[in-house]
Structure 1
Amino acid sequence: MWRDRKPEDRRRWVLDPLEGVGPLRFGMDRDEVRAALGEVSVSSSQAALDGSFRESYDDMGLTALYVPGMLLAGVAVHAETGPQVSLAGGELMDRVPSEVSAALHRVARGQGVRVGVNRDGDPEIAAWGLSMGAVQAWETSAEGYPARTDRAITQALVVAPELADDPYATDLVTLWRDIREEPVNTGGWPVTADQDRARWEWTPLEVVGPLRFGMTVDEVIAALGDEEPADRRGSFPHYAFRRYGQWNLEEERFDGAGLTAHYRLRDGGPRLAAVTVHGRTGPQVVHDGMKLIGQKVTALDAALIERAERGDMSLAIGCSGDLGIHGCNMYIRSARAGDGMVSEARFCDADWEDHG
């Protein structure tokens, strides 16, 4: 399995700021990239209307980003599976985020280079075409299956000069990861203390706190004390023609309440179908003696597995590997909190199909 890849088995690449990384040079065409990588299989690809293109190589642990003309302009290196990338002698990948951030700041000061913060709250250095990120670390359990950890580990996006000023604002990078509508993180990771969280009850498939599945948008806002959403997200029915047809509301984020409401079209309009309670700031929900929000993810996973082994419940596994309770349509998710992860939960009605 790719998750079993040992550090010594990973390729070791050097970042050449604004020029390329490892054997890959910005401006290469797709055939040249494939030749530089050796025998590599394409795991997925996607093209935009303007001719931009992304191509992922899971065996290599990276995604290549091409501007129109199929010319390489960016490389996203995956945290656990991609090459070990170094800059000025320091390794960037699969490390503690705060340690990498501190090292980058030291090197930047020595070179007189400005370090900014990207939309995820991680270092971004336009002079080097480097934007850092982090994901949850996984490991192989004693039984041989993939298991989540409570750690965040670094990954990197390296780009050509034309993308360096604000990579995540470009259409090309959004082909790989679109975070334009996600909340901007300024570099802090506050986590509300458990005693300061509201306490909410949960009735599976029906209600969580004051929110009952099937509510209209206005009813959700009223139930949350007339809090206006910090952000709304939706889509048009025809992907290729993004402005064609009726825009459909899909979710609203309520930062004050610490949750996201998810909607499905029903009875002529959007109706509440799922609620994600945020791990860092959301209300506490307790089920069968388990606090579900703001806890160690590994502890909750272990508690669910223990109850399943006793026969108290059956487990459900979400498409992202999240564990949940079978028949309740609830999944324990994870949210980053600096160098670590905390638990959050998505509560759904009976008809909701969770896709991560």
Structure 2
Amino acid sequence: MGWWNRKPEEERPQWVLDPLVGVGPLRFGMSPDEVAAALAGAVVWVARRAGGEPARQEYHDLGVTAFFGPEPRLLAVAIDELAEPRVRLRGVELIARVPSEVRADLHELARREGVAVRENRSGDPEVAAWGVSMDTGQEWGRAPEGYVQRTSRAITGALLLGPELAEDPYGPGPVRDWSRARAEDAYSGTWQVTADEARPRWDCTPLEGVGPLRFGMSPAEVAAALGGEIPSARLGSHPWAGWPSPYAQDAQWNLGADVFDGTGVTAHYGGGFGAPALAAVTVHGRTGPRIEYAGIRLIGRPLADVDADIARHAEERDLGLRVTCAGDQGPDGTGIYVRAARAGDIMLSEARFCIEDWQED
């Protein structure tokens, strides 16, 4: 979304959350056409189910996503951290704030109203009685030169739910397929960050591998190189999932990634319909090994500091700088991308090391 063109704070629309009923001009139960009319003038992208019915409408200029059930009727609304509308619940501002501050305000409001607060899968407050599940994202700012850049702060967004999804927002339904939470960096009950001196030191060879891992390894070879560690999670997909296809009934599950929480890395595999082969490695920001590139410490530092170091390195050596849609960046021709990892209220650096033709998100 073009948040840098967002209206001044005092001119942004103020939406009020009416728990389990609606938010701003949107009411749960609306049809897709009614939602579009309520947000008249906003540009919309529609994700559809196999049968052609809308599963969600994404209003990127507003930072708003609407989710629909199979009827289709509005079941939930996501407001991202850089959204145009401000959203208030009983006087508590929910959007674009420091996560710990919103947490404190919601717990105090819940105490006064006698409702239960739980933690959701991103480690943020969730209140079924209000249909609120908080979220966080990356804060962006402007450099003195005028271009946009990532900061080292996490700020809040929110998923607002109708009664059908309030108890289990990420269960079966339209939200689960959309969720922005990365499984390899999911909240595990603590935001504890491993001290730098307690992390092992790994070398990296751009486009070839990192530490003991070499691109082209099989999943068994990756596990063996990591001392026989058993993956804490295996991520993958079925071809043609959700699509009518004569091949769907025979579709084989394809391994996409192995998460190794003990080492603090995720191994990503390519190979399409062939045998999976190591094509990228994400080194986790909170727990992963120490790695340097051109004298720059890549892992576990304030994100903005590493971004600045990488940009300076590229400029001094007249290198190109590759930047993904998510803002991850790295020197051209290295297959290295600096990524963001949340640690409570701050964003730390992590890095992904890739083969030459890896398609980075």
* Normalised-by-shorter TM-score class: over 0.9
CA spacing shift, 1:92–1:254, aligned 2, 3 Å = same
Q: 2:260 aligned to 242, 254, 264, which one?
A: 254
Q: CA deviation at 1:144?
A: 2.7
Q: What CA deviation, in whole Å up to 9, does each residue of 1:76-129 have, x standing for no partner?
A: 011112311111111010000000000000000001100011111100000000
Contact 2:19 2:130 (C-alpha < 8 Å) held by counterparts: yes
- Structure 1's consecutive aligned runs of 4 or more residues displaced over 6 angstroms after TM superposition are none
Asked if residue 284 in structure 1 is aligned to residue 290 in structure 2, the reply is yes
**How many angstroms apart in 2 are the aligned matches of 1:260 and 1:56?**
29
Q: Which residue pairs with 1:245 in the alignment?
A: 251
Q: Which residue pairs with 2:345 in the alignment?
A: 339
Q: Which residue pairs with 1:95 in the alignment?
A: 97
Q: CA deviation at 1:233?
A: 1.0
Q: Which residue pairs with 1:46 in the alignment?
A: 48
CA spacing shift, 1:153–1:57, aligned 2, 3 Å = same
Q: 1:147 aligned to 141, 146, 149, which one?
A: 149
- What one-letter code is carried by the residue in structure 1 that aligns with 2:36? R
**How many angstroms apart in 1 are the aligned matches of 2:16 and 2:325?**
34
- What one-letter code is carried by the residue in structure 1 that aligns with 2:358? W
Q: Which residue pairs with 2:133 in the alignment?
A: 131
CA spacing shift, 1:48–1:166, aligned 2, 3 Å = farther
Contact 1:200 1:209 (C-alpha < 8 Å) held by counterparts: yes
Give the alignment's TM-score, normalised by structure 2.
0.93
Q: CA deviation at 1:186?
A: 5.2
Equivalence map 1:60-71=2 (5 Å): 60-71=62-73
CA spacing shift, 1:286–1:124, aligned 2, 3 Å = same
Q: Which residue pairs with 1:58 in the alignment?
A: 60
How many percent identity over aligned positions? 52
Q: Which residue pairs with 2:317 in the alignment?
A: 311
**How many angstroms apart in 2 are the aligned matches of 1:214 and 1:145?**
38
Q: Structure 1 unaligned segments of length 5 or more: list them.
A: none
Q: CA deviation at 1:255?
A: 0.2
Asked if residue 263 in structure 1 is aligned to residue 264 in structure 2, the reply is no
**How many angstroms apart in 2 are the aligned matches of 1:180 and 1:353?**
17
Q: Structure 2 unaligned segments of length 5 or more: list them.
A: none
Count of residues in correspondence between the two structures: 355
Contact 2:185 2:341 (C-alpha < 8 Å) held by counterparts: no
Q: Which residue pairs with 1:2 in the alignment?
A: 3
- What one-letter code is carried by the residue in structure 2 that aligns with 1:91? E
CA spacing shift, 1:243–1:188, aligned 2, 3 Å = farther
Task: Give RMSD over aligned pairs.
Answer: 2.0
Give the alignment's TM-score, normalised by structure 1.
0.94
- What one-letter code is carried by the residue in structure 2 that aligns with 1:235? S
Q: CA deviation at 1:8?
A: 2.2
- 1:108 is paired with a residue whose SS is helix
- 2:129 is paired with a residue whose SS is helix
Q: CA deviation at 1:41?
A: 2.0
Contact 1:65 1:173 (C-alpha < 8 Å) held by counterparts: yes
